[in-house]
Homo-oligomer: A and B are copies of this chain.
């Protein structure tokens, strides 16, 4: 992956940030987005930056251990890479890339209000979606008739524990296309940014549908 390709990837994530902020999914500097450059090298957003006005300066490249890379190749592309601070949640991104290399090449994380409220209520468990055509937006889903089940895990400020818990739950539910952290938000992924974007939009859509369906049980 050369400099120009990395800038193109940055630009895709910049556009995603603007859209997610507009939709209310990445407010108040929340959220983080990443893409795999090669196994063990990930481009990710710098901690605490506003997502509606990301620039190329708001990214760094981290390694398997979630710390900024310092080798010459990287510093040619991002001169101040070594001094940039990745989000605390970089560890969870790295874990997803490490444990699920076949299907995870980009990770998008948002804080949509409905996802937060719903997952907070559940605390720990799962949500099931059934009967929506939109389920077909998830890789490998061919019909609306099946059930898409996604894990909900408790939130934690101990990112090592959170990452381990997420990976454990996802190992048990290998077909889950995304995961919810209680009171926090959604982590979704794909084999590239495009697929991760599609998965995230379908996730937000289905949570919206689920919420409305639950709110209004007596209609019709």
In the complex, whether A118 has a CB less than 8 A from a CB of chain B is yes
Ordered by A's residue number, 12 sampled pairs between the chains whose C-beta atoms are within 8 Å are A28-B137, A28-B199, A28-B201, A29-B137, A113-B208, A117-B212, A120-B131, A121-B213, A133-B155, A142-B157, A211-B212, A214-B218
Does the CB pair B114–A212 fall under 8 Å?
A: yes
Does the CB pair B144–A132 fall under 8 Å?
A: no
In the complex, whether A27 has a CB less than 8 A from a CB of chain B is yes
A135-171 CB contacts (< 8 Å) to partner B: 137, 142-145, 155, 157
Given contacts A133-B116, A211-B216, contact A204 B111 (CB under 8 A): no
Q: Which residues of B contact A214 (CB under 8 A)?
A: 216, 218-220
Instruction: Report the minimal beta-carbon distance from A199 to chain B, rounded to whole angstroms.
Output: 8
Q: Which of B137, B157, B215 contacts A216 (CB 8 A)?
A: B215
Q: Which of B28, B142, B145, B216 contacts A134 (CB 8 A)?
A: B28
Q: How many copies does the complex hold?
A: 4
Q: Identify the stretch in A60-68, A75-83, A93-101, A182-190 within 8 Å (CB) of chain B at 4 or more residues.
A: A182-190
Q: Which residues of B contact A122 (CB under 8 A)?
A: 220
Given contacts A113-B212, A214-B216, contact A29 B198 (CB under 8 A): yes
Q: Which residues of B contact A202 (CB under 8 A)?
A: 27-28
Q: How far is the CA of A91 from the CA of B199 in the complex (A)?
A: 26
A1-50 CB contacts (< 8 Å) to partner B: 24, 27-30, 50
Number of interface residues, chain A, beta carbon within 8 A: 50
Q: Which residues of B contact A213 (CB under 8 A)?
A: 117, 120-121
Does the CB pair A183–B116 fall under 8 Å?
A: no
In the complex, whether A173 has a CB less than 8 A from a CB of chain B is no
Q: Which residues of B contact A114 (CB under 8 A)?
A: 212
A215's closest neighbor in chain B, by CB?
Answer: B216
In the complex, whether A74 has a CB less than 8 A from a CB of chain B is no
Q: Which of B120, B205, B216 contacts A132 (CB 8 A)?
A: B120
Q: Which residues of B contact A27 (CB under 8 A)?
A: 134, 201-202, 204-205
